[in-house]
Copies of this chain bind each other. A is one copy, B any other.
């Protein structure tokens, strides 16, 4: 059985034909022209879908279902997107019905980060597990939760907001208005903030020199690369960064007890340099020490996770 997955972002629309095992057989993409309005964008989505099928030598009849991942909330009870300021859709937009009519096919919808979690469970780092959590360490911290082989999106369709667990009461101010959210300590943005503070405190540090005194050039990678080559200041920042992440991971283990926690997002490109301290620091903090607990793994699917996960929305694991 084949599935069509559509990853609908604010910049790009991607579509792919995906098989039962979560393998992409053919994919294509186009630019999201938000300014043209919702109807035009969905016209583009439909055109991309048909083009992907044609170029992939596949017919709509061979497709079991179509799935769409998007950066917003899917309300499973009312079958609508309550609001989506990112994509400028009307409130309570009936995405699946609207696109279903254009394609003549059953359409499933879901949050894009949740879809990525589903992708990793279908064909990536959490393959073969029933309960897993994807944590994406990027500009913010997002992720998705798979329970009993299915996307878990709660009672109100508010997908799990892992990044807004409060892990440091009274800590850094978050974009959400609270203080001390996990995201304020575990995101790439957090590492950049700490890098900038380091440079302000120690204007002669290696990090400052590496960006020629221009703090705006500091990326998470800048700090990580200096830590990798043994710069003591950046090592200390990275040590504290992984410590804070492990506190969030142990909280996730204490509430979900998953088989696997998958670490994705831009920061995960640090690879074993990130993974090993996370594993060690999390193991040190697990509550029941003489029982097995979640493995921690790096995400495997990268940018394809969006297409694969969207495709899998119509398939139970």
Task: Give A residues with C-beta under 8 Å from B.
Answer: 73, 82-83, 129-131, 145, 147-148, 152-162, 164-171, 176-178, 180, 185, 244, 247-248, 250-252, 254-259, 285, 287-288, 290-294
Partner of A155, one of B145, B164, B259: B259
Partner of A254, one of B73, B165, B169, B288: B165
Min distance, Cβ A16 to any Cβ of chain B, angstroms = 29
A154 near B252: Cβ-Cβ < 8 Å = no
| CA A13 to CA B170, docked complex, whole Å | 43
Question: How many monomers of this protein are in the complex?
Answer: 2
A169 near B251: Cβ-Cβ < 8 Å = no
| CA A129 to CA B77, docked complex, whole Å | 14
| CA A160 to CA B256, docked complex, whole Å | 6
Partner of A154, one of B82, B159, B256: B256
Min distance, Cβ A250 to any Cβ of chain B, angstroms = 6
Residues of B within 8 A of A176 (CB): 287
B178 near A154: Cβ-Cβ < 8 Å = no
A158 near B251: Cβ-Cβ < 8 Å = no
Listed A/B pairs (23) with beta-carbon separation below 8 Å: A73-B288, A73-B291, A82-B290, A155-B258, A156-B291, A157-B291, A158-B287, A158-B291, A159-B257, A160-B255, A160-B257, A164-B251, A165-B251, A165-B254, A166-B248, A166-B250, A166-B251, A168-B168, A168-B169, A169-B171, A169-B185, A255-B255, A255-B256
